[in-house]
Amino acid sequence: MDNILNSTVEMSQAELILQLAQTNVEQEKRLKLTEQRLAALEESVKKLSSKCIGNYGCSTMSSYIQRYKLPIYVSDISKLSNDAARLCRKRGYPVNKVNIERFGTINVYPDFILHELLDDYIRTTQRLNGSIMG
């Protein structure tokens, strides 16, 4: 530290001004890079949050099933919820949570994920039931 102070004392005014200007330019470059990184992070956060808030709704498994009066076995809801969470993670969509007083914390999924998953479930169930009946 003393060496730095001594070298500063030995500088002429012009050299000191030059060093301060160079330091200022370096700090401005760092600040600009930091601002660019912050803007990129903010854009990433905006894209991620819009994935579950964007042009589609989000629902719990039970509310989606009730809303569309789907023929889903209650015993399958837990497995379907796990499948929905897995599908969301695989496709990069966040699995949000909502606190419902009666049930506690429950996962919330994009409606289009639930539509795809439950449509497949219903078709498979109907095919199985049809083959058992026939």
The pLDDT tens digits of the residues spanning 85-117 come to 999 999 988 898 988 888 899 999 999 999 999
Q: Alpha carbon of 124 to those of 20, 34, 84: distances in Å?
A: 73, 52, 16
Contact 125, 74 (CB under 8 A): no
Give the HSE-up count for residue 39: Cα atoms under 13 Å, Cβ half-sphere.
6
Instruction: Indicate if 33 and 97 belong to the same structural domain.
Output: no
**127 and 79 share a domain?**
yes
Please give the Cα distance from 55 to 67 (Å, whole number): 19
Please tell me whether residues 101 and 125 are part of one structural domain. Answer: yes
Q: How many helices (H) and strands (E) does the chain have?
A: 5, 3
Torsion of CA 68, 75, 91, 117, to 10 degrees: -40
- Tell me: the pLDDT tens digits for 47-73? 776 665 555 688 999 999 999 999 999
- By three-state DSSP, how is residue 109 classified? strand
Residue 25 and residue 71 in one domain: no
Name the pTM for this structure: 0.57
42 and 60 belong to one structural domain: no
Q: Which structural domain, as residue segments, surrounds residue 6?
A: 2-52
Q: What is the DSSP code (8-state) at residue 58?
A: E
